Amino acid sequence: MDKLNNTLNSIKFLDHAVMDETKKRWDSLVKPIGSLGLMEEITIRLSGIYRTTKFDIDKRAVVVMASDNGIVEENVTSSPQIFTRILVEKMAKGITGVSVMSKAANADVIVVDIGINGDVKEENVINRKIRYGTDNFTKSFAMTYDEAIKAIETGIEVADDLFNKGYKILGTGEVGIGNTTTSAAVIKAITDFPIDDIVGKGAGITDEQLVLKKKAIIKAIELHKPNKYDVIDVLSKVGGLDIAGLVGVYLSGAKNMKPTVMDGFISQAAALCAIKLDGRVKDYIIPSHLSKEPGAKFVFNEIGLKPMLDLSMRLGEGTGCPLAFQIIDTAIYTLNNMATFEEAEIEKELLVDISKDEEK
Ligand SMILES: Cc1cc2ncn([C@H]3O[C@H](COP(=O)(O)O)[C@@H](O)[C@H]3O)c2cc1C
Ligand SMILES: O=C(O)c1cccnc1
């Protein structure tokens, strides 16, 4: 628990003086004030995270936490558990969705076995296995309290190591058949949102299976009564090792003063947990896209962040992150290279500024 506590204790607020400077730079460029929207907001936040107006995200990676979920026994998924290990091996070979999209975006993919129910035959996968999958949470806790802490601390260690190696931004990805069920259970336990709002079809299940999925979550919450004020209790009772590992990745970003990019629904469940552990973590999280999983919009409302894209994607793996990296690249390039009113010899004073009205 020391690593987790030390990490939480070293999280700092953003540098607002540097953020003001970046805002001033945007406002000096030849455009209506605020007209580049989230491109402006994100780079302003990045400058506060990096504590400098001159930054880049050239060295970047998506960290994929992979683990299995005992809840698959309840017939809540479209594919068998063995798919987790197979997908991870293909991912490490560079041929799955996140691998190819990351190649297109010049990003590395770091695959971590944090709890796959089988031995991975691929040396490019980092072995940080805590256990061979979780237990079926309709019958017992998914894992022990100590295992949940260990999974968070594993995520912290993996991300700390990558930041030490010079990565400037990390995306969050996952593979784990059944993890939209565990994510919905974690979100339900923390927010108590209506079950129909937050449980969707994940990778693709029938209407009958959707009923089973909702029932399994309700049953587990009634049985274990997770304490919404204790994120570790929630993760250990109804969560997954992948979600817990990603909580650690977000915490490491905040500790190392580096941004983390959030992918879809599973990454959102982890972000919600990380923010509940320390509200300052939110400042370091950059959302990529709005997942098609129906609960995603409700979690966005809860955490108070906005996605930059809505591409009706519902793959997971971290696939939103390489797209976000490319948008951030463009935002940084624009910030650094657009002409100011002065350089363009246009009188800024002639411009009506409505940005203050927009804030209201
Ligand atoms: C071929 C295939 C590739 C995937 N890549 C990511 N996922 C996604 O689907 C799984 C979660 O959905 P559920 O909770 O419904 O099982 C996770 O592995 C997630 O990464 C996939 C799923 C499949 C079937
Ligand atoms: O949004 C996601 O991350 C997601 C949605 C469906 C299946 N797997 C992942």
Residue 311 in any domain: the answer is yes
pLDDT of residue 117: 98
Distance 105 CA to ligand 2 centre (A): 20
Judge contact between 57 and 45, C-beta under 8 A: no
Does the ipTM exceed 0.95?
Answer: yes
Look up the CATH number of the domain holding residue 105. Answer: 3.40.50.10210
Task: Give the CA angle between residues 230, 232, 235 to the nearest 5°.
Answer: 115
Residue 67 Cβ inside 6 Å of ligand 2? The answer reads no
| pLDDT level of residue 261 (50, 70, 90 thresholds) | very high
pLDDT of residue 172: 99
Instruction: Reply yes or no on whether the pLDDT at 40 is more than 90.
Output: yes
Residue 279 in any domain: the answer is yes
Candidate list 89, 317, 358, 359, residue with the active-site label: 317
Atom 23 in ligand 1: which residue has the minimum CA distance? 203
Residue 2 in any domain: the answer is no
Mean pLDDT of 161-170: 99
The pTM (predicted TM-score) of the whole model is 0.98
pLDDT of residue 326: 98
pLDDT of residue 348: 87
User: What is the overall mean pLDDT for the chain?
Assistant: 97
Residue 7 in any domain: the answer is no
Question: Strands, E, within the chain: which ranges?
Answer: 60-67, 108-115, 125-127, 169-175, 260-262, 285-287
Residue 125 in any domain: the answer is yes
Q: How many domains, in total, are found in the chain? A: 1
pLDDT of residue 349: 87
Mark 205-240 as b/e (b = at least 16 C-beta within 10 Å).
Answer: beeebbeebbebbeebbeebebeeeebbbbbbbbbb
pLDDT of residue 252: 98
Least distant ligand from the CA of 271 = 2
| pLDDT level of residue 355 (50, 70, 90 thresholds) | confident
Range of the domain at 220: 60-330
Residue 22 in any domain: the answer is no
Distance 33 CA to ligand 2 centre (A): 36
pLDDT of residue 351: 83
Distance 11 CA to ligand 1 centre (A): 33
Annotated active-site residue 317? The verdict is yes
Instruction: Reply yes or no on whether the pLDDT at 236 is more than 70.
Output: yes
Residue 353 in any domain: the answer is no
For a ligand 2 pocket test, name from 180, 199, 209, 288 the mutation site with the most ligand atoms within 8 angstroms of its C-beta: 180
Residue with tokens 């999209």: 101
Residue 201 in any domain: the answer is yes
